[in-house]
Amino acid sequence: MSIETNTPDLLELELGIPRFILWFVMLPVLPVTLIGLANLIGGEFLTALVLLIGLNGAFVAGYIALSERTRLRLDAGSGLVSITRTSRLGMRQWDYPLEVLDSAELDRSHTSQESRTTSKVMLVFRNTRPATRVALSRWGVSGDGPGQIANRINAWLRHHSGDETSAPTHRLSS
């Protein structure tokens, strides 16, 4: 997560996996390609096909899936909440009225080991019943990063609405 702008009228932040991790995903492509080419030259067509197309295809698909970045923009001037998702396959943007954004909350999921939980940040819009929840990312993350993001969004919303004395409005859901 990186905060681009944090003023009373504008909050912009970007969520995405750090770029150096994406390089580690693509690191095995060169050796697998070389081994696949060696198999192709050696006459092992099926093995070469599995390595060159199958395994390298899996690495590239993983890179594309993990390279998605989400940009959140809360703009008091225009009265809009903009969520922009950018990946190697294109860009999508959704706009919502800022006045119906209630809060940010965490959606927690437990893995097979109860000691490991992952969380993702959900924006809660009160204009529908039940409230509409929009995930900021497709995957959950362990650690305190999602909580910090939710707290930052909720603090900006409290400041924007002029309600500085209220308690944080995000909830933890199971």
67, 61, 65: which is closest to 18 by C-alpha? Answer: 67
State the pTM of this model. Answer: 0.71
Nearest 5°: phi and psi at 9? -100, -10
107 contact partners, CB below 8 Å, separation of at least 6: 119, 120, 121, 122, 133, 135, 140, 173
User: What sign does the CA torsion over 118, 120, 126, 131 have?
Assistant: negative
Give the percent of the chain with pLDDT over 70: 87
Residues 33 and 39: their CA atoms lie apart, in Å, by 10
The answer for residues whose C-beta is within 8 angstroms of residue 51's C-beta and 6 or more apart is: 32, 33, 35, 36, 39
The CATH number of the structural domain formed by 2-16+68-173 is 2.30.29
At 117 the pLDDT is 75
The neighbour count for residue 67, using CB atoms within 10 Å, is 17
Backbone angles phi, psi at 96, to 5 degrees: -130, 155
Q: Which of 50-54, 128-132, 138-142 has the highest mean pLDDT?
A: 50-54
Give the chain's mean pLDDT.
81
Q: pLDDT by residue (tens digit) across 45-70?
A: 888 888 888 888 888 888 888 888 89
Q: Would you list the domain boundaries of the chain?
A: 2-16+68-173, 21-66
